[in-house]
Chains A and B, each alone.
Chain A
Amino acid sequence: RKEVEQDPGPFNVPEGATVAFNCTYSNSASQSFFWYRQDCRKEPKLLMSVYSSGNEDGRFTAQLNRASQYISLLIRDSKLSDSATYLCVVKGSNYQLIWGAGTKLIIKP
């Protein structure tokens, strides 16, 4: 089983729609979780940390299910500028960031 697994997509979504991404991780001892966004040939940028109780930042909502080792990201009212690859990232027991391969999102006008 991959350490961090994501559906590679692409997800083709009309502007204004809601889209959800999922991610599973294999190490049950992981404590910290993040969603990063990466534009083509650019550096990853932290979108949001994921907290146990779930957290929201504007149009973005992240959820964590420790029992199922599952993380989700919901984007509401999607914008053209949301088109990017979304990377699920888990901090391992040795504090290294373990990266998923990313889910590509394409927002269409």
Chain B
Amino acid sequence: EPEVTQTPSHQVTQMGQEVILRCVPISNHLYFYWYRQILGQKVEFLVSFYNNEISEKSEIFDDQFSVERPDGSNFTLKIRSTKLEDSAMYFCASSEQEGQGNYGYTFGSGTRLTVV
């Protein structure tokens, strides 16, 4: 079964450093997403990406964050100048279609980011 791959599985970084979280979506999917989940809290939408540009972003996704699809396969989330409160699980997801239908999203296994 096709899967979304995320690396690394766990990243520890010092406050103020920049991190890049990597994702390889399912190859025929066109829509890509980043979500995050702070430990013990609900999953939160960060950003959606389609046709090489951001299509939606939440208020969490401020200037500290950026996304990129540097080649045909990778989809990255960059967090600049990390803060303690950025510690969370970051999930990448992809979907084949978009819209109000019941189109499922496939999630990667996540990157646990710990800012110390």
Please tell me if the beta carbons of A95 and B91 are within 8 angstroms of each other in the complex: no
With A32-B100, A49-B102, A96-B58 as contacts: A43 and B45 at CB distance below 8 Å:
no
With A42-B109, A43-B110 as contacts: A96 and B42 at CB distance below 8 Å:
no
Interface check B89, CB cutoff 8 A: yes
Please tell me if the beta carbons of A46 and B105 are within 8 angstroms of each other in the complex: yes
Bin chain B's interface residue count: 20 to 34
Distance (Å) between the CB of A83 and the closest chain B CB?
17
Bin chain A's interface residue count: 20 to 34
Interface check B56, CB cutoff 8 A: yes
Interface check B25, CB cutoff 8 A: no
Q: Is the interface of B mostly helix, strand, loop or mixed?
A: loop
Interface check B98, CB cutoff 8 A: yes
With A43-B109, A43-B110, A95-B98 as contacts: A101 and B42 at CB distance below 8 Å:
yes
Interface check A94, CB cutoff 8 A: yes
Interface check B44, CB cutoff 8 A: yes
Chain A residues within 8 Å of B48, by CB? 95-96
Question: How many angstroms from the CA of A43 to the CA of B104 in the assembled complex?
Answer: 14
Chain B residues within 8 Å of A102, by CB? 42
Please tell me if the beta carbons of A99 and B44 are within 8 angstroms of each other in the complex: yes
Please tell me if the beta carbons of B43 and A87 are within 8 angstroms of each other in the complex: yes
* Max chain A C-beta neighbours (<10 A), residue from B43, B99, B110: B43
Give the nearest-CB partner of B39 in chain A: A41
Please tell me if the beta carbons of A95 and B99 are within 8 angstroms of each other in the complex: yes
Give the nearest-CB partner of B101 in chain A: A32
Question: How many angstroms from the CA of A87 to the CA of B37 in the assembled complex?
Answer: 13
Distance (Å) between the CB of B86 and the closest chain A CB?
18
Chain A residues within 8 Å of B98, by CB? 95
Chain A residues within 8 Å of B101, by CB? 32
For the complex with contacts A32-B100, A43-B110, A87-B42, 18 further pairs of A-B residues with Cβ separation under 8 Å are A31-B100, A32-B101, A32-B102, A34-B104, A41-B89, A42-B110, A43-B107, A45-B107, A46-B105, A46-B106, A49-B104, A51-B102, A95-B56, A95-B99, A95-B100, A96-B45, A97-B35, A101-B41
